Structure 1
Amino acid sequence: MMVAAGSLAGCTKTDTTSGGSLLQQLQDSGTVTVGFAGEAPYSFEQDGQLTGATVALHREIFKNLGIDNVEGVSTDFGALIPGLQARRFDVVSAGMSILPQRCEQAAFSEPEFNYTTALMVPKGNPANLTDMQSVQQSGVRMAAMTGAIESDYAQQLGIDAMQVASPQDGMDAVANGRADVFALTGISLNWLAKNNPQAPVDVTSSFVAEIDGVPQVGAGGTVFRKEDTELRDAYNAELAKITSDKDKYLSIVGPFGFTAEELPDPNLTTAKLCGGAG
């Protein structure tokens, strides 16, 4: 089941003041509602159904916590944390990058995916772009998704990036000539290109972005409200059983294009990422 975020604007999804923790409430109801932004292959709609790698993880983990149903609320990426804080959904299912400024606003699970960046360019890559520095030096027109980490990279590098609302919008901008390059995670761009074979675009090899010579090693996770510590801790305990077992991990997220390369580094914890590591 999915609903638009606007339809929940006049009400709240959860109210932890009305009897027990959120974890207990979700177990009692049997349903968890996740906010998602339609970024394939993380969490998106396909044939009217909520699917994606983070959704598959959530179905497995919440089932093991006694919560059998996962429902979705679609919203723009930049509105996911505000929507969570406004209680329009229980958690965020978007593989959101764990960044210090986001950790000030919400709580994150331990990492679920390692991240690298890639560039979507016109066929043949006429500007010969390879990384964020090549974008910066070439002066080409760049598109980035509002609220995504690549938008932050652009800002830190002094790139005046065109903001787009979705991966599809970014691809369209490149295909239509409104942008020369669209930066996003390699997984997302490769999925987008694979599922739009007629689009006149290529995707570069993935890379670890560098800012001031510092590699931006990234990882993403599920987002919780800061007060929902019991739910987050229970989630992390189940997540660890999956990320510590490569075969189990790949059986869940592999169908969405994820490989062992995306398996999170156990030494790169959420505490480190929230502290600015990476």
Structure 2
Amino acid sequence: MIRTFRRRSLLASGAVLASLSLALSGCGGTTTTEGEAAGGSGSVQAGEGHLQALKDKGTITVAIAGEVPYSYEEKGEATGATIALAKKIFGGMGIDNVETKLVDWNSLIPGLKAGRFDAVSAGMSILPDRCAEADFADPEIMYTTALMTQKGNPKGLTDLDSVKAKEDGGEDIKLAVLAGGIEAGYAKSLGLKVQSVPDAQTGMDTVDNGRADAFAMTAISLTTMAKDNPDANVSVGDGFVQEIDGVKQLGAGSTVFAKGDDELREAYNEGLAKVTASEESYLDVVGEFGFTAENLPPKDMTTAELCKGAPGSK
């Protein structure tokens, strides 16, 4: 039996999905779908005074995207590395209750801009087009890319360059990528043919049932999914840093805030700096989710540079 981590679909009709109550370990909280009715647990207006309002309320609402091991639901409870960071950092501000909304990936930033939640906690990559729409905290998780294939890797795919080489040689390679994910951008830059999937679970399913030869996503997510689904006909290759035009695309993800929410974002950065101050303090928070010291962003990797499109540290 495959253990699934599929995001709950937002009904096309716009019908309201029932909210799910849960208690987050260390901090109380609730998980609901993004399309909940007005009058539910909503966010406070972003901008000046937002931080104090959240402190007074004692609750912050963050959006998650159902991607293991960043932020996802397990046994009715929100968990993952970015949830652990949120509880640690917001708790340090005096905001002890973290509520979560499970949101389709492509709706994370639009929902944030619409004020449906206070922040996005999903390990979202810091990219120029996203920086134009919202403000990212300092880098909190570095990542590499990997390919999930069927066991035995019948097409011999090791990275996106190998996919390109096969396609250029005339082979029909079916590559799945997460819609809106950074791997989709890599594939576009390389001129690869892709099929977009809405979430990680669907990506694994397309490989498992042979509708895709490979699924490209962050290495730690794919490795965790394969480990948790031993009966699935999938395996994951080694992680790699993709090169585009000869430049290694070092990247990182972080928590996302609405434009103008500077006070809240800077307070978060202060708390994050304490977590990323050392390997020990970092792994104390995210280590249980499979992250290692390799995922700790270097000191000279900045959000400002990543927002300009600079690939990682100099």
2:60 pairs with 1:32: yes
Deviations 1:187-225 (A, max 9, x none): 100110011011111101000011121111110000001
Q: Which amino acid is the alignment partner of residue 53 of structure 1?
A: A
Q: Deviation at 1:160?
A: 2.1
Distance 1:166 1:74 in 2: 12
Worse overlay, 73-82 or 19-28: 19-28
Q: Which of 148, 156, 168 is residue 189 of structure 2 equivalent to?
A: 156
Q: Which amino acid is the alignment partner of residue 4 of structure 1?
A: T
Which residue of structure 1 aligns with residue 160 of structure 2?
A: 132
Q: Contact 1:14 / 1:22 at 8 angstroms: preserved in 2? A: no
2:238 pairs with 1:210: no
Distance 1:150 1:96 in 2: 12
Map residues 1-278 of structure 1 onto 2, 5 A cutoff: 1-8=30-37, 13-16=42-45, 21-139=49-167, 140-278=173-311
Distance 1:141 1:227 in 2: 41
Q: Which amino acid is the alignment partner of residue 290 of structure 2?
A: G
Deviations 1:57-82 (A, max 9, x none): 00000000000011111111111000
Q: Contact 2:220 / 2:290 at 8 angstroms: preserved in 1? A: yes
Deviations 1:11-34 (A, max 9, x none): 8933438x9621111101111101
Distance 1:232 1:20 in 2: 11
Q: Contact 2:44 / 2:54 at 8 angstroms: preserved in 1? A: no
TM-score (norm 1): 0.96
Q: Contact 1:9 / 1:88 at 8 angstroms: preserved in 2? A: no
Distance 1:113 1:270 in 2: 12
Q: Contact 1:119 / 1:130 at 8 angstroms: preserved in 2? A: yes
> Per the alignment, do residues 10 and 264 of structure 1 end up closer, same or farther by CA in structure 2, a change over 3 Å counting?
same
Unaligned runs of 5+ in 2: 1-29, 168-172
Q: Which amino acid is the alignment partner of residue 202 of structure 2?
A: D
Q: Contact 1:37 / 1:76 at 8 angstroms: preserved in 2? A: yes
Unaligned runs of 5+ in 1: none
- Paired residues, number: 277
Q: Which amino acid is the alignment partner of residue 273 of structure 1?
A: L
Distance 1:77 1:115 in 2: 18
Q: Deviation at 1:251?
A: 1.1
- Structure with bigger helix share is 1
Q: Contact 1:193 / 1:199 at 8 angstroms: preserved in 2? A: yes
Distance 1:117 1:104 in 2: 24
Q: Contact 1:23 / 1:230 at 8 angstroms: preserved in 2? A: yes
Q: Contact 2:177 / 2:203 at 8 angstroms: preserved in 1? A: yes
Distance 1:20 1:158 in 2: 44
Q: Contact 1:132 / 1:210 at 8 angstroms: preserved in 2? A: no
Q: Secondary structure, in 3 states, of the residue corresponding to 1:6?
A: coil
Distance 2:206 2:35 in 1: 26
Q: Contact 2:90 / 2:268 at 8 angstroms: preserved in 1? A: yes
Deviations 1:87-122 (A, max 9, x none): 111000001000011100000000001111000001
- Structural RMSD (CA): 1.5
TM-score (norm 2): 0.86
